[in-house]
Structure 1
Amino acid sequence: MQISEGITTYVAGSLVDKAMNELKYLCCYKSYVDDFEKEKPSLSATRNTVLKDIKDAEDKNKNQIEDDVQLWLDIAKGLIQEETKEKKKWFGLVTNCFWQYKRGKELEGKTQRIRQLIVERNNFTHIACSTESPDIKFYSSQNFMHFENTKLKFKQLKEACRLKDGKKFMIGLYGLGGTGKTTMAIEVGKEVVALKDFDKVIFSVVSKDPNLKKIRENIANQLGLPIDEKMGESKQAQSLWKRIFEGRENILIILDDMWKELTLQDIGIPPGYHDKGCCVVLLTTRQTTVCRDMGCHDNIKLEVLNEKDAMYLFLFYAGINIDGSSNDFEDVVASIVKECGGLPIAIVAMARALKSRSLNDLKDALVRLQNYVPTYSANEELKEAYNSLKLSYDYLKNEKAKNLFLLCSLFPEDYEIPIELLTRIAIGLGLCGDANKYFIARSEFTPIKNELIDSCLLLKSRNEIVKMHDLVREVALWIGKEQVQVGMDSNTTLDENIQYSS
């Protein structure tokens, strides 16, 4: 009998303890809310640190976020966005006790989860890793065309790059912006690899304000060379130099869009022939002085297209067939092409803008081209290109696409713009409707972006990445000179009535 009473007392006590333990979620609901809200700022700060680490990794060409890090970010974001102000009521009057009990218990678990996440952050061994370097074929254009006056230049460039003369290891390709220097250099790279002259062809953009560290890391990444982040730049350059010098490979390095002389040793490039390999450098530039300053052994100039080739290029992209057409039609097309200055980038942009248009539309476009008076202090040879690209901008049907075009010019020259980043900025600036309806806004961004790509005013760089041709960016800054201001540092004083600034 005493044993039975003891068991009954124990069970009853356990039930009371359990009931009281569960009741606390109802009675102390506010304390669970407060605890949760106190932990959220710490998680938010930790998440911001992780995002900063990811940005630093991207600057080092480590673009692939580790799966466990991405999962951590998603869970942390969900907890940070958790709303605790709402209370459910019966008939809109009295607090729903069952809901409050359940919600209090849930918040206790989420508070513990926040603390776990902050601890887990310290267990990340890697934030991001380098994706596999794209082959030179990746950069090539599917629509690359050989024209009469470029065939010879292409052959000259290819022969200059081939390993027939042990004394030539610096090659220069120069010409006006928009003549197709980058495209030709890449196509030559493809061919010399196919001919087994080179084991590897590496492509790296230099730009007006070269970042030697980024160029070095880009080349090292394509060579599969891990760069120690703790090394100084000099040590990194030495490491890259040693990899190329002792790699027993024939390597062609394309340094695209150079504006001034660079010391290759500072990057880590050993040009010349080594014991069992060589390193040949092909640079592209707008200025022949760069070729001279860099000591190029062969300097090849890429000219603008002649009238016949320019006509063919325009008709191809405009989807126009002039066979059997009136002389007026052919004459108008020829005049439009002439106004484009023979520059392929301007011709293609103009052709896309006038695709499948009527003769009257083409005549109107010609009148506008002939009557543009640029105020931009451009090189005299580039005024036609500026005018034609400006008209391509004018022909954009969507006003939001025009705003996005100006917005893209804020990014640095040759910058590879992540579409995700551009989407978020566009939504934030109200270019895609109501930002509160995020998924709807995202869907509205795609046709705006595609209109710029279809007009050749924005280029696909690689998966989920776009960029602006440097000449197009210059035109965008010229067009938006009253609305757009690019600042190089935080001390820049913004002009009045500026719509977009960086």
Structure 2
Amino acid sequence: MVDVAGSVGGVMSPVLQVGQWLAAPIWRQFKYLFNYRSNFNSLQEQVDKLKNTRDEVQHKVTAAERNVEEIKQNVKNWQEVVEKTITKAEQLIQQNANNPRCFKGLCPNFIIYYKQSKKAFKLKRDDIDPLLQQERELGPVSNPSNPREIWLRTSEDYLTFESRNSTMKNVWAALNDESVFMIGVYGMGGLGKTTLVQEIGRKAEKEKLFEEIVFVEVSESPDIKKLQTTIADKLKLKFENESEMANKLYSRMEKKNILLILDNIWKPVELDKMVGIPCGADRGRNKLLFTTRNVDVLEKMGSTKNFGMGFLKDDEAWTLFTEMAGNCDNVNIKKLKQLLHEKNLNFKI
């Protein structure tokens, strides 16, 4: 009898094992139907939570955009996936609400319930839960941006004059000449030197001639520390103390491709030693563009390509005047022009 029992036990053990193997997947499939309502309730709760999280992230994004900051790409990607997932979940929830019933509505369609319950469970587990976890790992939604300076934006006020075209072409050719480092534009005050170099800067940015373009007004009595600080701010460079300003600025610009426009220089400035602008072998592809009233200033600073600006022609000066006058009555402008000629006034800009 013992041998028979042992024999039967030996036969039943594999059978029970097979039964256990079959029971596990059967139960996993049956639980989708058994947990039908709880799966959809859980899905709805997580969708609501994901919506709230999405709105919180969007508030941060909106605040960052108003502060002209750059939104991180991983945040944008997360927002895009969240919107698609919410839409997908809401469609499934709506389908569930509109489920057809068998036998003229007397009982539910268990096959559809099973399929939808399985989708709801997996959508929550595989899509929504990971998105909520990813949100905790996003960190700050933005990085500080480097907004374009106002003068670099397209200028509708710039007027092209024949007498200025040659200067524009000469300066532009010098900017494209790798052997030229310093370029100067000189002439009396009010001739439009600043306007011309700013237009050249806009063109250089449009054609991606330089990695960065910096414009700084120097003034009649330059403050070296203020000049250093202004250049550093535009290059997003931070100083811990004033003693390191020149060295750190030098390292920031060393062997780079930067156009530095120094406007309205009145006297020579030691750019490398005092300010910290590389002027020797370390200058790389950097270019310096100056404007000044006195060509001697350019020559003393070592500028080799200097271009003078003269007066506008009479018709060009008048065109500029009428453009600047704006909404003035045309009749009055004509009378003013006639008066200027009658008085033999030298109308130059």
Shorter-chain TM-score range: 0.5 to 0.7
Q: Compare relative contact order (CA 8 Å, sep 6+) and give the higher one, 1 or 2.
A: 2
1:221 Cα deviation after fit: 1.2
In structure 2, the residue matched to 1:257 is 264
> Where in structure 2 are the equivalents of 1:95-494 lying within 5 Å?
132=146, 134-135=148-149, 137-138=151-152, 141-162=155-176, 164=177, 166-228=178-240, 230-232=241-243, 235-246=244-255, 249-265=256-272, 266-271=274-279, 274=282, 277-318=284-325, 319=327, 330-334=337-341, 338-340=345-347, 342-343=348-349
Larger Rg: 2
1:324-345 deviation per Cα after TM superposition (whole angstroms, max 9, x unaligned): x9997653255689444x12xx
Contact 1:322/1:330 (8 A) holds in 2: no
Residues 136 and 203, structure 1, Cα contact 8 Å, conserved in 2: no
Q: How many angstroms apart in 2 are the aligned matches of 1:200 and 1:206?
A: 19
TM-score, normalised to structure 2, is 0.52
The AA in structure 1 aligned to 2:200 is V
Using a 3 Å threshold, how does the CA distance of structure 1 residues 336 and 303 change in structure 2: closer, same or farther?
A: farther
Aligned residues of 2:152 and 2:198 also touching (Cα < 8 A): no
User: Quick one: which amino acid aligns to residue 314 of structure 1?
Assistant: F
Aligned partner letter, 1:158: W
How far 1:297 sits from its partner (Å)?
A: 1.2
Q: Deviations over 1:21-44 (max 9, x none)?
A: xxxxxxxxxxxxxxxxxxxxxxxx
Distance in 1, Cα, partners of 2:180 & 2:212: 18
Partner SS state of residue 176, structure 1: coil
Whether the aligned pair in 2 keeps the contact of 1:203 and 1:254 (CA below 8 Å) is: yes
| Percent of matched pairs sharing the same residue | 30
* 1:199 positional shift: 1.0
Alignment check: 8 A CA contact 2:260 2:287 kept: yes
Q: Which amino acid aligns with 1:215?
A: L
What is the rounded CA distance, in whole Å, between the counterparts of 1:298 and 1:326 in structure 2? 40
> Counterparts of 1:237 and 1:299 in 2: how far apart (Å)?
27
Unpaired segments ≥5 residues, structure 1? 1-63, 65-129, 344-502
- SS of match in other structure, 1:242: helix
3-state DSSP of counterpart to 2:278: coil
CA distance in 1, matches of 2:158, 2:318: 16
Partner of 1:238, secondary structure, is: helix
Question: Is the partner of 1:278 in helix, strand or coil?
Answer: coil
Provide closer, same or farther for how the CA distance between residues 288 and 191 of structure 1 changes in structure 2, counting only shifts above 3 A.
Answer: same
Q: Give distance in 1, aligned partners of 2:258 and 2:333.
A: 53
SS of residue matched to 1:303: coil
Asked if 2 retains the 8 angstrom alpha-carbon contact of 1:158 and 1:188, the reply is: yes
What root-mean-square deviation, in Å, do the aligned CA atoms of Structure 1 and Structure 2 show?
3.1
Q: How many residues align?
A: 205
Distance in 2 between the 1:196 and 1:177 partners?
A: 30
Aligned residue identity for 1:284? T
User: Which structure has more helix as a fraction of its residues?
Assistant: 2
Question: Cα 1:136–1:330, aligned 2, differ >3 Å: closer, same or farther?
Answer: closer
Q: Give unpaired runs (5+ residues) of structure 2.
A: 1-66, 68-143
Segment drifting more, 312-321 vs 173-182: 312-321
